[in-house]
Amino acid sequence: MAEFILKINGAPRTVNVAQDPEQGGVGGDTLGLTGTKYGCGISLCGACTVHLDGVPIRSCQTKIADATAGSITTIEGLSGNRAHPIQKAWVAEDVPQCGYCQSGMIMSAAALLAKNPKPEDKDIDTALGGHICRCGTYQRIRQAIHRAARSGTRPGTTPPGGTQNDRNDR
Ligand code: FES
Ligand code: FES
């Protein structure tokens, strides 16, 4: 058993894990943060996406040792009262079906809008290309991102640079 301190949603959290710190995947369930989902476990579905220093990452593939140096934001920390423009747009467009993929989708969408306030369809497809929705909500996701962009409200999280793949390839 090893103990790590992770900064999650602005607060230090102690995590005890019975695993090699070089291995990826601290489950949100361990911390009572159930919004982030575990899907494939091999970086193919995007359900586990959170932000590390504002950049969307696959938490299932992120080394705990790398995460201790940064600031993690989960879906619970995106907005205190679900007031993030992307969350409002998600509700307005009635995007979710089963919901399993949605927190990962929202985290990548929020990072996209922070970097590109007026994304075109191709930008959305690139940013969310690694996410799988088994319910096929892709069209409503696009509509919600465009709606959030039209709202003109600057989303709160700003990636300092780099891409999801940059992080996951480390
Ligand atoms: S669970 Fe991490 S990408 Fe699928
Ligand atoms: S809403 Fe069901 S998997 Fe996306």
* Ligand nearest to the backbone CA of 43: 1
Q: What is the model's pTM?
A: 0.86
Domain of 130, in residue numbers: 78-157
Say yes or no: 83 and 150 in one domain: yes
- Tell me how many domains the chain contains: 2
With pLDDT > 70 as the criterion, what percentage of the chain qualifies?
82
Tell me the DSSP string of 19-69.
S-TTSB---GGGGT--SS----SSSSS-TTEEEETTEEEEGGG-BHHHHTT
Task: Round to whole Å and give the CA distance between 114 and 125.
Answer: 16
* Higher local confidence (pLDDT), 108 or 23: 108
Task: Round to whole Å and give the CA distance between 143 and 149.
Answer: 10
Q: Which residues contact residue 115 at a Cβ distance below 8 angstroms, ignoring those fewer than 6 apart?
A: 158, 159
Residue 32 placed within a domain: yes
Say yes or no: 70 and 84 in one domain: no
Separation of 35 CA from ligand 1 center, angstroms?
14
In this predicted structure, the answer to whether residue 26 has a pLDDT above a threshold of 80 is no
pLDDT for residue 31: 78
If you average pLDDT over every residue of the chain, what do you get? 86
Task: Round to whole Å and give the CA distance between 130 and 32.
Answer: 26
CATH number at residue 90: 1.10.150.120
Say yes or no: 146 and 107 in one domain: yes
CATH number at residue 53: 3.10.20.30
104-132 pLDDT, tens digit each: 999 999 999 999 999 999 999 999 999 99
Residue 33 placed within a domain: yes
Boundary-marking domain end, from 29, 59, 77 = 77
Does the C-beta of 139 come closer than 6 Å to ligand 2? no
Does the C-beta of 96 come closer than 6 Å to ligand 2? yes
pLDDT for residue 168: 41
79-106 pLDDT, tens digit each: 978 889 999 999 999 999 999 999 999 9
Say yes or no: 10 and 36 in one domain: yes
The answer to whether 64 and 15 are in contact (CB under 8 A) is: yes
Boundary-marking domain end, from 77, 101, 121 = 77
Say yes or no: 59 and 99 in one domain: no
Residue 47 placed within a domain: yes
